[in-house]
A and B are shown apart, each in its own frame.
Chain A
Amino acid sequence: MALPVMDYRARDLAGYGPNPPKVEWPGGARIAINVVVNYEEGGEPCVIHGDPYCLNAGRDNIPQGPRGIRDLNVDSEFDYGARVGVWRMLRVFKTQDIQASFLVIGRALESNPEVARAIGAAGHEPMDHGYRWAYMGNLAAMTREEERQFLRKEIEVCERLIGSRPVGHFVGSATLQTRELLIEEGYLYDSNFVASDLPVFVNVKGKKWLLVPYGRTLNDAQERFALGEEYFRYGKEAFDRLYKEGATIPKMLTVSLHSRVCGTPGFAAAVERLLGYMRSFPGVWFARRDEIAKVWIEQFGDR
């Protein structure tokens, strides 16, 4: 089946419209669910890493802008994600028998190699989240060669510490140049895309390139989720709708998490409850993002 393929420089406001394609997920599943964990702790801006401030981007500290000091409370909330949170989530995935995608920052893996080994040993997918967070918001300032080296550094760290290279990419500030470089550096897809419920191809200089959408709303970093329970309820709403739609047109759902948030005790319990709820339905396929990408490419990629 031929799908519409727009040029990657254009904006596509029409998309699949009323006629989304019917993918056949493995086992005839109605819905593919990707759990994606952002593992960033140690990659974020911090004064001791030479950055001008410590990033306040968790859930529990006083909301305030950057201050040019070593902010121990702010650092400490991130540290929790690496020391405690990520391990709690790894146990949840083991109990629920789920293989997830881990959006890893290379610098974070280097500061906690045992976590990297555990991600690899459990069969989770490493995804490229940038070698340092400090540059994520500023990829546009990189030259082509600088950004290429940034990608290669991340690939090298994943291969060395997790045991395999990333084939998917999401940083939140990608440019058209990023997309061109991902093709040149051997990636399979990227997730710098939230404009659809389903994967989409774009045409990058004559080559079909796959976008696997990231989860914008069912994301524990959203300010609306003060409690794990609220995340559970919103996740149930999203799942119920997509599962219903999936009876005629199979769908995809992203469960997006961050170690320092979802790894706190009550939040982790709520995520586990949500995954258990989804699992209780027939025709639910928990999939890594690269598995979703491969199915899509096989069925719609003209290869």
Chain B
Amino acid sequence: MPAFRDFIGYADNPPKVEWPGNALLAINIAVNYEEGAEWCIEYGDPSCEHRGIDPWGAAHRPAFESGGDPADRQRDLYVEDVYEYGSSTGFWRLLGIFREHDVKATFLCCGKALEMNPEAAAAITREGHEAASHGYRWVPHWTLDREQEREQLRRNVETIRRLTGQQPVGQRTPGASLNTRQLLVEEGGFIYDSDTIADDLPYFTTVNERKWLLIPYANATDDQRYPYPRGFFEVDDFFRCLKEDFDQLYRESATTPKMMSVGLHLRLSGLPGPSNAVERFILYAKSFPRVWFARRDEIARVWLEQFGK
């Protein structure tokens, strides 16, 4: 991870990519599969997780920062249930929506979560979705030292391979550290990471003196904003958020093809009401010509092919 920050980027001259099928806008749906990988007393962790548990009024008390609070040192069955709902019910609901509307998505997978629900891991591959890496455990990687993080990465790659049959080629890291990007390059097998929200288009940076591709994520169009003070109050707010960004990016893509990132969580958008916002957006976007729902690895390969030389 560079010590510098690039404030300039493409400035007023973004590159013109040619998406497959002459598409104008590539849309990636990235589903964070974390349920079962969060901190839990049952696993021997010092406290249970409280982050992002519930769209309707979550406690923002990250476990890794409140680990010293005695109140957190006992099992919280309600919190555990919220996560278990995501993997046992929310996952299958979202998978069904993707199948019905022929959308291929990227699942950002925590290995520990897949181990708790191997049938879901198999379904990700069977239905043609990408299994990317999201850390073996759902812990901020900046809390780990370099070797601990390398161990997390190796274990996650091994678990994803074993349970999905896919070699993960991309990663979005929970709380990326300054070592993350170098480790991805050193460990090999990866072609991109998504630890940036700094652009509307993929871009290259330099890691260990070689070109390294970043496929941006977007926290603005992520369902994690349901519980935020500055977030989504009604289900339709998330749809409207996606629609207003889509409308502008689609308009701009007439001259410069663009990309849009939609972030989902099983325990949020997998709930009955919120899942409607996802389906409504897919139908809305698909009502326009030249819209390409793409996996992150597909976007990465197009970008590498056209700009990677």
Contact = CB atoms under 8 A, between A and B. Distances in A.
Given A112-B7, A269-B244, A72 B195 contact: yes
**Interface of A, helix, strand, loop or mixed by DSSP:** helix
Contacts of A106: none
Contact of A48 (B5, B198, B252): B5
Given A73-B197, A76-B198, A87 B12 contact: yes
Interface string B227-242: 0111111000100110
Interface string A62-82: 111000011011011101101
13 contacts: A60-B218, A62-B51, A62-B224, A62-B228, A76-B198, A80-B199, A83-B10, A90-B12, A115-B11, A118-B12, A265-B247, A266-B247, A269-B244
Interface of A: 41-42, 46, 48, 59-64, 69-70, 72-73, 75-77, 79-80, 82-84, 87, 90, 108, 111-112, 114-115, 118, 223-229, 264-270
A77 to B, nearest CB: 6
A226 B5 contact: no
B207 interface: no
Most chain A beta-carbon neighbours within 10 Å: one of B9, B224, B232, B249: B9
B4 interface: yes
A1 B287 CA distance: 61
Top 5 A-B pairs ranked by shortest CB distance? A266-B244, A83-B9, A265-B248, A60-B219, A79-B198
Contacts of A267: 244
Contacts of A61: 219
A175 B126 CA distance: 64
Most chain A beta-carbon neighbours within 10 Å: one of B7, B51, B240: B7
B1 interface: yes
State which size class the interface on B falls in: 35 or more
Given A59-B230, A60-B219, A226 B225 contact: yes
Interface of B: 1, 3-12, 51, 60, 62, 142, 175-176, 178, 195-200, 218-220, 222, 224-225, 228-233, 237, 240-241, 243-249, 251-252
B12 A84 contact: no
A168 to B, nearest CB: 24
B142 A69 contact: yes
Contacts, number: 126
B11 A87 contact: yes
**Interface of B, helix, strand, loop or mixed by DSSP:** loop
B176 A72 contact: yes
Most chain A beta-carbon neighbours within 10 Å: one of B5, B51, B246: B5
A227 B240 contact: yes
Contact of B219 (A75, A77, A84): A77
B228 to A, nearest CB: 6
Given A59-B220, A63-B228, A266 B245 contact: yes
B7 A79 contact: yes
Contacts of B252: 265
Nearest to B200: A84
Most chain A beta-carbon neighbours within 10 Å: one of B60, B195, B198, B252: B198
Most chain B beta-carbon neighbours within 10 Å: one of A48, A72, A270: A72
A114 B6 CA distance: 13
Nearest to B241: A227
B23 to A, nearest CB: 17
Nearest to B174: A73
A267 B243 CA distance: 11
B200 A64 contact: no
A60 B178 contact: no
Given A60-B219, A227-B240, A264-B220, A79 B248 contact: no
A270 to B, nearest CB: 7
Given A87-B12, A223-B230, A268-B248, A60 B197 contact: yes
Most chain A beta-carbon neighbours within 10 Å: one of B1, B176, B251: B176
Contacts of B229: 63, 223
B245 A264 contact: yes
